[in-house]
Structures are given as structure tokens and as C-alpha cells.
Amino acid sequence: MKNVCKKLALILSLILLNTPAVPAEQSIQQDLIQDRTVLAKEYFNIGSSFLKLKKYQDAIENFDIAIKYDPSYASAYNSKGIALDGFGKPLEAIENFNIAIKYNTSYASAYNNKAVSYIDQIGIKFYSLRFKKWMHLNAQDFLHEFYTGKHGFKIQQLWEFLINSALLEG
């Protein structure tokens, strides 16, 4: 009986030694998915979920992986820029918005996000050009917020900003 157990143990150990190691679950999934675009979209979706939760570092990491799989993925660059801006890195955000615009020149969201990052960078809390009509109708409230708000900028800075934004629009 002892010989049978020893032989059985020897056979089992030989079988186990010849069996290839089981790769990590992530590697299996990536091997099954051959299309790099599909992988890019999956990581983009994961990054978008983290972005909604305001977990910017996790979002950035997943957008980087999406970009690795599809270097021309404009939405991934745009979303990475949003995460970087939320993380307090407006200059890096602007770089990513520029890359998104490079790959999709009609990407309105990237242009808008780039403008918002520029505004954040100089510290102006501005209500976006879409609200010009509101600003016109509520000029006193807008000026009060701009002048006494978080940053308390001077009217000259407001004037320069409005002139520059009008030139960009035109």
C-alpha cells in the first residue's frame, strides 16, 4: 500500500511540474482580446468611472493604459486632461487637450476643456462663454462675484479676459 501511495504521489507531482503556471486573470483576458481598440475602450470606460468618482489618480492611470493601446484615442486624452485638471495640474491637462484636438480637430469638448483649464490656471472663476447672455442680463451679479469672489480680480483683468475671449470666438 505504501508503494502505491508513493507511486501516486510521484505521478501527481510529475503532472503538476509539467503543467504550465496559470497566468493572472488580467493576462488571460488581455490575451483573449486581440483587438487593441477594444482594450483601449475598456480601460477608457474604467477610467471614466474613476473620473466620475473623482478618483483622479486611478482615472489617469487607466486613461494612460487606454492611450497605450490606442495612441490616437482623442477621448482618452480629453478625459485624462479633465482628470489632471481635477488633480490640480492644469498645464498637463492643457497638453492632453491639445493632443485630443490634434487627433480630432472638431472635438468641441476638448476645446472647451482647454479654455476652462486656462481659466483655472490664471485663477479666474469664469462662467464660460455659453453664459454670456446671463452675464449681460446679470452684469452686476457677475461683476460682484468676479471682483469680490474667491480670487478678487480687478476690472482691468476682467476686461482683458472678455476682449481675448471675444477675439477667440470671432
**Class of 34-122 per CATH?**
mainly alpha
C-alpha 98/C-alpha 82 separation (Å) is 12
Counting runs of H as helices and runs of E as strands, what totals does the chain give? 10, 0
Between helices 90-103 and 74-86, what is the axis angle to 10°? 170
Which phi and psi angles does 19 have, rounded to 5°? -85, 125
Between helices 90-103 and 108-122, what is the axis angle to 10°? 160
Show me where the domains of the chain are located.
34-122, 123-170
pTM reported for the whole predicted model: 0.55
C-alpha 92/C-alpha 70 separation (Å) is 20
Tens digit of each residue's pLDDT, the chain (170 residues): 556 556 655 565 556 555 454 455 566 665 555 688 889 999 999 999 999 999 999 999 999 999 999 999 999 999 999 999 998 888 899 899 999 999 998 888 888 888 778 776 665 444 455 455 555 566 666 566 655 655 455 556 666 666 666 555 54
